[in-house]
Structure 1
Amino acid sequence: MAASVPSISRSRTAVAAVRKGTATSPFSLFSDPFPITTINSYYSNTAKVLNPDDALSRTQFLDFVKDRSKSKSDHLKLDDALGWFDRMVLTKPLPPVDVFNHLLGAVNKIKHHSTVAALYMRMKSTGIAPDIFTLSIILNCYCRLKRVDLGFAILGDIFKRGIEPDAVTYATIIDGLCKSGKLDAALELLKAMEKGTCRTNTLVYNTIIHGLTKKRLLKEAMDLFSEMVEKGFEADIVTYTTIINGLCKTGNVSAALHLFRKMESGKCRPDTYAYTTMIDGLCREGLLDEALGLFSEMVGNSISANVVTYTSLIQGFISMGRWEESTRLFNEMISNGISPNATTINLVMDALCKEGMVEKAHELFHLVIQRGEKLNIISYNILMDGYSLQGKMDIAMEVFKSMVADGIEHDVYSFNVFINGFCKSRRINEAIRLFQEMHRMGLIPNTVTYNTLLGGLLGAGSVRAALTLVNEMKASGLSPNRITFITLLDGLCKRNYIAEAINVFQVMVNSNFQPCIQIYSILIDGLCKDGNIEMAKKLFDGISDNGLVPDVITYNVMINGPCKEGLMEEANELLCKMEENGCVPDIFTFNAILRGFVKINEMQKAVEFLHMIDKRDVSPNVDTISTVVDLLSKEGQVPSLHASNISGQKLAKQLLLEHHAMRRFYDPMIELEKTDLRTLVNSQLMCSECLQ
């Protein structure tokens, strides 16, 4: 078993102890006892005492309690239940235990498990003897509270009464063990059941299979599934969907689909949940056509899709950029009378904003509100982020203010969205004011807040303020992360604060923070641009010592430095080393070297290098073409621009087609914007004429 649990032997001992009756106290089995004093305190603080001389007779009152306990539990109020319990223990003679059981069961259903435990302790202190049903309820409570130790103590009480627990009781204990992460102990208990008089059932197997899949132990879950079938237990819809869900979440969709078809061909027919689980798994793997096919099959089999089914499909199509299909599904869902939930709405709004259609997202936002449905804080944050990214900060601020009017409090993410928007719009003072407002509201900025504001300050040239902010961040108890250092070093290098950048890097290394390759690339680039090639080389050579491998960006930065200084031999050596280490050069690598040859007037080598680029089948960009035109200009092979009555576009074509090594560079040029190309070529040619 992959999940090692230290309490296996203890749980085995516990079962033996409770069977023998040697466990004198529930606290003798496990170390940290359940805080009974806490739950008694909770009860005493929340109990509502009713007058025992109420007009209702004893019999009427007890019948009333039983009826209310049997009704829908969501209609039950805790204060009422506590009041009834208090009256019951004051009633003379004491009511039968089954009335208490009804009330305890009802409180358990509304998930007030600690309260049930407190009521149970009060029952015992009042002299009311629990029966098997009481013990089953309290055992369930302890397990839901993840106090399986106390659950075993209750199991011991059941054994002492000479009662053999049924499969449901064992399933409850096993479920508690699984939820506590004690899977090995759960399997041991399953084996103990099989050796005893209590025969296990599908419910028990399902409970352990669910626990295994939650821990992503799919092999163990499949093995248990096979064992279950071999022993004659019939897998039900819960068994199949649990494993299918686990397989989908671990990316094993083909195995999940195989199991789905196996279920389909057997006695167990897929339901809405099974289809939805499988559709969601296919969508997450980008198998949208297969998901849509399964959806059609689902509808054809008269199985109703729900909001989760549609949301899975919509999310899948949005993630693959297939906006039309997602819109069609969204409209289909509404026309079929299925109301989108907050998750669906947020999904569509987020996609609209990312596509630049913030106004459409806002229309959807208003439409949902007009229908009387509540949106959550995520909806507001998405809308604000959409406007912020477009620089429409005033409209974003209106949404920000409307949150309070709609009864939704701002959170840290709301402020982060705004601070980011103001920083990107170069409105750094507003960003700082919002940062200060967070503190006034009692909201604690997180690492994202600090990193965002840090980037804004550096972008605005406020280097000293940025360094102060990093110190404030540390003082608040937050540690700078990778993004913090990348943002800080990038800002310092771009502002030519190289000494400060080196100091930050040294502090980072001294504090045992492992620099990533991106950090190395930023600092090497800064050193090269500052003309400190030697120090850049030392830093570059130290990359492998830290267990990192330079990527194409790192090599490009390192090659670009010597090229700018005209050190072409060094650049070529780096290119060779780059390829030897399995890093494939890109067009930026070649552009740097090509520019380097042109810069030192090594025209023949530049042309030879162009031949080499041609063989590599690398697509040129604007910078390549600019360098090519510059190369031709310096060779004196460009006709006078003023003497020629020809456009820059045609001239570029003529020049490039006349030179064999440069012919292939014309085609990509025509894909560029004509104005950009004309400006580029004309400026290069005019610069050439000025030099002649």
Structure 2
Amino acid sequence: MVIVIPFPACFTPLQNPMASINNTLFLPTNGNLKKSLHCSKPDPFKENKHTQVDYDAGTHKIYTRIPGLRKLDLPKRQRSRVDGDRFQKDWTLSEVVERITKLKHWEDVEGVLNQWAGRFARKNFPVLMREITRIGSIEHAIQVFNWMKNQKNYCARNDIYNMLIRLHARHNRIDQARGLFFEMQKWRCNPDVETYNALINAHGRAGQWRWGVNIMEDMLRAAVSFYLIVFSTLLVPGSGEPLGSVLCNSPRIPPSRSTYNCLINACGSSGNWREALKISKKMTDNGVGPDLVTHNIILSAYKTGAQYSKALSYFELMKGTNVRPDTTTLNILIDCLVKFGKYEEAIEIFNSMREKRAECHPDIVTYTSIMHMYSVCGQIESCRAVFDALAAEGMKPNVISYNALLGAYASLGLSESVSSIFDEMKRNGIRPDVVSYTSLINAYGRSRQPKRAWKIFNKMRRDNVSPNLVTYNALIDAYGSNGFLAEAVELLREMEQNGLQPNVVSISTLLAACGRCCQKSKIDSILKAAKMRGIVLNTIAYNSAIGSYMNVGEYDEALCLYRCMREKKIRPDAVTYNILISGSCKMSKYNEALEMISQLRELNIPWSKELYSSAICAYSKQGQLAEAESMFNMMKGAGFQPDVITYTTMLHAYSVGECWEKALAVFQEMELNDVQPDSVACAALMRSFNKGSQPGKGLLVAEFMREKKIPFTDAVFFEMVSSCSILRDWKRLTDVIEMMELTLPLISVGTLNQLLHSLGKVGNIDTMIKIFLKIVASGAEVEVTTYEVLLQNLLAAGNWRKYIEVMQWMEDAGVQPSAGIYNNILYFAQRSAGIENAAVIRERIESLKRKSVYSTMERKHCDLSLPTHALISSKQT
């Protein structure tokens, strides 16, 4: 059951029993005189509110109705034409609008309008067009307007043309809007200020700010040009002068404040903030003072042009005027502060807005800007808290708010959380857009799930959401960052087939993927492809290419690309030099790294934390401890908090310089600054203690690692073995061996050799042999150097029988003993074994040699899998 209850538009005098049938009300006065009050006729174009209540569904709806001029309001001659035709309908103006909008744009709109009795009233036309344009249906508006022009009672009006020009601007139909401007002049309908404003706004939406400037200049000349053409031959009565010369001094169409605001907005939205300021100055010079809208537009122009510091300065000047900022002003200010990195000030303004609810209450844009700030900072929990506060304030999150939340979680690769928010978004009736899907693809790419990212990409296309360039770049990164370079390149081709041209971000993503996959040829191919497509590489793209060359070990190619970058006047940044310096250190090109540091200082490029760490590493590797210390102090003076990598680099530097006191001070500073040391830092400190003859302190570091539950690595075990060997603490060494037994296959050859040498040096031969056998049984690969350490300690202990047995083990393992191993045992036989033992040793050695030669020949001749020419060549060899 639906009940429609109209609200009373005005008081009806007939409701009063004293009212007469002629709507004349007589009221008593102090005397016997009577005064009459006549009720005016209600406005036919007044919007009347109605409410519709559906008790069955439990819903209510409020809407407005406009009656318009109907059949009874028509002149008699027009009314007689309507009365005699049963096809003529006495619809209200709102009913006509509803019937038109229900039609498809190719259906008969004229048929509906020709049945409407109100078409004979010319005053209905502007209101009809206003309601059609308010709905935003441009096809219906065009057909209604064409029908109007064919009516005999139609008269061209500025307001109708202005509405149509604005509607075409909303639909980015700039040429059609300009055509309407010229058409209205053919009907001798002179444009007014609102017409020019609508046309400037249309060009501003399309980013054509120069057209807007030209239109305002035409606006100033419009009145003069018109009268010069029409009245140039007429004479002014009584003076004899041409009328055209007099009208040259006539008032022109002055731009209003809205005109200037539209033009400033057109320039600012295109990023041309300098031109926006010029027009603002011209506005003030012409005596039109800026208002709050003007200030907001200029602030927005600064923001669009990435002039955040200028926006903040302008806001300070704005506070000195009588114009008070509103929510829009503060939203722009918060966004600029976030982009400028002043997060605390942005939070302060946000909190003040929440406190001063009566003045500037935060809206959904405010909350979304703060969410974006927390997303940039990586504080996703705070971002979620702001999102929840938005809903708690009674505001319904829109797709932009959800996208900000999705982007925060996606930036950290939290794919499960992103998927959950994505589903929540759809449950709340918000349709995901291309940004939502792109965030989900990015999340799966960062969490190393490229196949799931591909599934989301396909689902996106099934849901009729067209992927854009950012979407393809996210998917290319998902494949490239996980080693699927071929799939990433194929996506680039698919993107081009779909009409999307790759940009510099696409090239940068592929270049970084080539470095991860260690494919030098692909790096060259992608650089050539970018050149063929006319894509100009920026600093980020060069950084990706230089880093990829460094990853594949092509130092000269990386350096050549860096020189090319400088020749093309592309300014390198801190990332560029960090890649070059760290790459040079990895390839032991320390002099080149120091040269890069000198170039960096000449260019006055701001240093980053990573760049300081790389420079400290380069100085320490060259033994320039003083320069490394100076760089470390400069880093802290610049406001950068050293991280565990920087502290570890300094620990290595002090280890090389054998300054264990300073190394200990740096380690203690780490703890004071709440920087958790890792295994590498602990190993570096233990090395400093061992080199500084403080092995006991090195073992205390091992105890510290047990307390902090820091994992023991191969480097830590090496230093622990060295400390025990220096202290001759064999009991502690036994404990270290028990700890190492669990990870023997992962222990490096250097650590194993150090352990065997420490045991053999003190004559603990049995333990040394047991450890060696455990190493072999664990499946670890034993190199010839390990055998040499074992044999050296056996010979030093005089155990020649075990020496020969280990040589037999080498033969069985396929490891050929070197000439030095044979010479050592023969020299021992001659000098220290005695006559009888010497003969036995020589006999066994000769037997081993013969067996070794026979085994070598057998391996050469018994490989039947080799072709004939290969066997012949092996025999000749």
* TM-score normalised over the length of structure 2: 0.52
Q: Give the direction of change, closer, same or farther, for the CA distance of 1:432–1:98 in structure 2 (3 Å limit).
A: closer
The answer on whether the counterparts of 1:282 and 1:290 sit within 8 Å (CA) in structure 2 is: yes
Q: Give the direction of change, closer, same or farther, for the CA distance of 1:386–1:260 in structure 2 (3 Å limit).
A: closer
Give the counterpart of 1:678 among 815, 820, 825. Answer: 815
Deviating more after overlay: 476-485 vs 103-112 = 476-485
Query: Does residue 469 of structure 1 match 2:469?
Result: no
Q: Give the direction of change, closer, same or farther, for the CA distance of 1:204–1:219 in structure 2 (3 Å limit).
A: closer
Rounded Cα–Cα distance in structure 2 between residues aligned with 1:77 and 1:439? 42
The answer on whether the counterparts of 1:272 and 1:305 sit within 8 Å (CA) in structure 2 is: yes
Matched with 1:636 is: 801
Residues 492-571 of structure 1 mapped to structure 2, 5 A cutoff: 493=655, 497-498=657-658, 501-502=659-660, 504-505=662-663, 508=666, 516=677, 518-528=680-690, 532=693, 535-538=694-697, 540-541=699-700, 551-552=711-712, 553-563=715-725, 566-571=728-733
Per-residue Cα deviation, 1:499-541 (whole angstroms, up to 9, x for no partner): xx336437757989879564553343254357x2xx2313553
Rounded Cα–Cα distance in structure 2 between residues aligned with 1:650 and 1:246? 61
TM-aligned CA deviation for residue 562 of structure 1? 2.0
Residues 214-613 of structure 1 mapped to structure 2, 5 A cutoff: 216=380, 217-224=382-389, 226-227=391-392, 235-249=397-411, 252-264=414-426, 267-388=429-550, 392-411=554-573, 413-415=575-577, 417-419=579-581, 432-439=594-601, 452=614, 455=617, 459=621, 463=623, 466-467=624-625, 469-470=627-628, 473=631, 486-487=648-649, 490=652, 493=655, 497-498=657-658, 501-502=659-660, 504-505=662-663, 508=666, 516=677, 518-528=680-690, 532=693, 535-538=694-697, 540-541=699-700, 551-552=711-712, 553-563=715-725, 566-573=728-735, 587=747, 592-607=754-769, 609=771
Rounded Cα–Cα distance in structure 2 between residues aligned with 1:141 and 1:593? 69
SS at 2:448 equivalent: coil
Rounded Cα–Cα distance in structure 2 between residues aligned with 1:261 and 1:149? 43
Query: Does residue 651 of structure 1 match 2:784?
Result: no
Query: Does residue 72 of structure 1 match 2:204?
Result: yes
TM-aligned CA deviation for residue 375 of structure 1? 0.9
The answer on whether the counterparts of 2:387 and 2:401 sit within 8 Å (CA) in structure 1 is: no
Rounded Cα–Cα distance in structure 2 between residues aligned with 1:422 and 1:192? 56
Q: Give the direction of change, closer, same or farther, for the CA distance of 1:680–1:221 in structure 2 (3 Å limit).
A: farther
Matched with 1:657 is: none
Per-residue Cα deviation, 1:38-95 (whole angstroms, up to 9, x for no partner): xxxxxxxxxxxxxxxxxxxx999997787445413643369969x979x99xx97864
TM-aligned CA deviation for residue 282 of structure 1? 1.8
Q: Give the direction of change, closer, same or farther, for the CA distance of 1:357–1:434 in structure 2 (3 Å limit).
A: same
Per-residue Cα deviation, 1:465-499 (whole angstroms, up to 9, x for no partner): x24534764797876956566446536645xx53x
Query: Does residue 98 of structure 1 match 2:235?
Result: no
Q: Give the direction of change, closer, same or farther, for the CA distance of 1:400–1:118 in structure 2 (3 Å limit).
A: closer
Query: Does residue 109 of structure 1 match 2:269?
Result: yes
Per-residue Cα deviation, 1:272-319 (whole angstroms, up to 9, x for no partner): 221111111122222333222212222333332222222222222333
Deviating more after overlay: 321-330 vs 298-307 = 321-330
SS at 1:338 equivalent: coil
Q: Give the direction of change, closer, same or farther, for the CA distance of 1:519–1:250 in structure 2 (3 Å limit).
A: closer
- One-letter identity of the residue aligned with 1:76: W
Rounded Cα–Cα distance in structure 2 between residues aligned with 1:151 and 1:208? 23
- One-letter identity of the residue aligned with 1:469: E
Q: Give the direction of change, closer, same or farther, for the CA distance of 1:272–1:630 in structure 2 (3 Å limit).
A: farther
SS at 2:405 equivalent: helix
TM-aligned CA deviation for residue 690 of structure 1? 5.5
The answer on whether the counterparts of 1:566 and 1:597 sit within 8 Å (CA) in structure 2 is: no
Return the structure number with greater relative CO, CA threshold 8 A, min gap 6: 1
Matched with 1:48 is: none
Q: Give the direction of change, closer, same or farther, for the CA distance of 1:493–1:174 in structure 2 (3 Å limit).
A: closer
If you compute each CA radius of gyration, which structure gives the higher value, 1 or 2?
2
- One-letter identity of the residue aligned with 1:72: G
TM-aligned CA deviation for residue 235 of structure 1? 4.8
The answer on whether the counterparts of 2:689 and 2:695 sit within 8 Å (CA) in structure 1 is: yes
Rounded Cα–Cα distance in structure 1 between residues aligned with 2:197 and 2:733? 87
The answer on whether the counterparts of 1:629 and 1:681 sit within 8 Å (CA) in structure 2 is: no
Rounded Cα–Cα distance in structure 2 between residues aligned with 1:486 and 1:323? 34
Rounded Cα–Cα distance in structure 2 between residues aligned with 1:356 and 1:213? 32
Rounded Cα–Cα distance in structure 2 between residues aligned with 1:203 and 1:412? 34
**Percentage of matched positions with identical amino acids:** 17
The answer on whether the counterparts of 2:300 and 2:332 sit within 8 Å (CA) in structure 1 is: no
Q: Give the direction of change, closer, same or farther, for the CA distance of 1:347–1:681 in structure 2 (3 Å limit).
A: farther
The answer on whether the counterparts of 2:260 and 2:279 sit within 8 Å (CA) in structure 1 is: no
Q: Report how many residues are paired.
A: 575
SS at 1:72 equivalent: helix
Rounded Cα–Cα distance in structure 2 between residues aligned with 1:135 and 1:415? 41
The answer on whether the counterparts of 1:222 and 1:243 sit within 8 Å (CA) in structure 2 is: yes
Rounded Cα–Cα distance in structure 2 between residues aligned with 1:235 and 1:458? 54
Deviating more after overlay: 282-291 vs 200-209 = 200-209
Rounded Cα–Cα distance in structure 2 between residues aligned with 1:453 and 1:202? 45
Q: Give the direction of change, closer, same or farther, for the CA distance of 1:67–1:455 in structure 2 (3 Å limit).
A: same
Q: Give the direction of change, closer, same or farther, for the CA distance of 1:583–1:393 in structure 2 (3 Å limit).
A: closer
Matched with 1:670 is: none
Q: Give the direction of change, closer, same or farther, for the CA distance of 1:275–1:204 in structure 2 (3 Å limit).
A: same
The answer on whether the counterparts of 2:514 and 2:520 sit within 8 Å (CA) in structure 1 is: yes
Deviating more after overlay: 558-567 vs 202-211 = 202-211
Per-residue Cα deviation, 1:10-52 (whole angstroms, up to 9, x for no partner): xxxxxxxxxxxxxxxxxxxxxxxxxxxxxxxxxxxxxxxxxxx
SS at 2:500 equivalent: coil
Q: Give the direction of change, closer, same or farther, for the CA distance of 1:446–1:468 in structure 2 (3 Å limit).
A: farther
The answer on whether the counterparts of 1:450 and 1:469 sit within 8 Å (CA) in structure 2 is: no
Rounded Cα–Cα distance in structure 2 between residues aligned with 1:171 and 1:344? 35
Rounded Cα–Cα distance in structure 2 between residues aligned with 1:142 and 1:348? 33
The answer on whether the counterparts of 1:69 and 1:102 sit within 8 Å (CA) in structure 2 is: yes
Q: Give the direction of change, closer, same or farther, for the CA distance of 1:551–1:263 in structure 2 (3 Å limit).
A: closer
Structure 2: runs of 5 or more not aligned: 1-189, 222-249, 338-342, 830-877
Q: Give the direction of change, closer, same or farther, for the CA distance of 1:177–1:60 in structure 2 (3 Å limit).
A: closer
C-alpha RMSD of the superposition:
5.5
The answer on whether the counterparts of 1:587 and 1:618 sit within 8 Å (CA) in structure 2 is: no
Matched with 1:54 is: none
The answer on whether the counterparts of 2:581 and 2:593 sit within 8 Å (CA) in structure 1 is: yes
TM-aligned CA deviation for residue 199 of structure 1? 11
Q: If each structure's helix is expressed as a fraction of its own residues, which one has the higher value? A: 1
Matched with 2:20 is: none
The answer on whether the counterparts of 1:543 and 1:549 sit within 8 Å (CA) in structure 2 is: no
Q: Give the direction of change, closer, same or farther, for the CA distance of 1:620–1:314 in structure 2 (3 Å limit).
A: same
Matched with 2:44 is: none
TM-aligned CA deviation for residue 426 of structure 1? 5.4
Rounded Cα–Cα distance in structure 2 between residues aligned with 1:326 and 1:170? 44
